[in-house]
Amino acid sequence: MTKYVAVAGKGGVGKTTFTALLLRQMVKGLQSKSILAVDADPNANLNEALGLEVTATISELLEDTKNPKAVPTGMPKDVFVEYKLQQSLIESQDIDLLVMGGPQGPGCYCYPNDLLRKYLETLGDNYDYVTVDTEAGLEHISRRTIPRVDVMFVISDSSARGIRSAGRVHDLIKGLRSAVDEVYLVVTKTTEGSLDSLSGEIEKTGLQLIGDIPLDPMVVTHDLEGRPLYTLPDDSLAVQAVEKIMKKAFK
């Protein structure tokens, strides 16, 4: 059965960095497993962290379905939508990627979103793992666009404000209609002693701390130079930390 993994957290805390490095370690540690990545954040940049080029997002392609004249004569609309969605799948040797993108204009997306949910359910069956970089509001999960979540990582930076935000994300998760099985907290950009200083705030969230990711000069350098984080070397502090987290979560 396909295992669904989600990464949540507010912007700027290292959510996409963690997702990219998690995918890196999944490819390396879960050998011979097929992986689909889904960038559900409207501010999509997971592809850059993975070193993949995006030619079209799902929201751009679904915009075409709102024009009745765009559907070829004699073709059912659901078949047309599935065809357009298939065009948005980016395939690579290690990871396939879908990029949701943001809303392209006014109007109701209920029907396209319903078809998207069915498409993801069908597409997900072809993979061992589906890993989703979610948007801050968890909208795609609450609307069940993503069928379910087996493991969710809630990301925070090493600040009291960030930890409190992670706690609010946890509250949202508990109120979702969708089932979320395992939920873990990951604290990023840590320095010596920072976790001890935050222990009280972490306890208030009710989240289980599964690990932290130290502030890593290699990550900073890769970002400055525009290099994919997926290419970080094995001796990167962030890579080693994510490897430990993955082994704990997928034991």
CATH number at residue 246: 3.40.50.300
Checking if the pLDDT of 38 tops 70, the result is: yes
- Contact partners, residue 27, CB within 8 Å, separation at least 6: 35, 94, 95
For the chain, what is the mean pLDDT? 88
Note whether 157 and 188 are within 8 A (CB).
Answer: yes
**In the prediction, which pLDDT does 10 show?**
85
Of 36-40, 65-69, 131-135, 172-176, the least confident: 65-69
94: Cβ–Cβ under 8 A, 6 or more apart, which residues?
Answer: 27, 35
* Residue pLDDT, tens place only, 160-200: 999 999 999 898 888 876 678 999 999 999 999 999 999 99
Mean predicted confidence (pLDDT) in 17-41: 92
The whole model's pTM is what? 0.90
pLDDT band at 110 (very low <50, low <70, confident <90, very high): low
**Domain of 153, in residue numbers:** 3-250
Query: Rounded to whole angstroms, how far apart are CA atoms 245 and 161?
Result: 23
Parallel, antiparallel or unpaired: strands 180-190 and 208-214: parallel
Mean pLDDT of 116-126: 83
Side-chain half-sphere exposure of 236, counting CA atoms within 13 A: 23
Residue 41 has pLDDT above 60, yes or no: yes
Domain count, the chain: 1
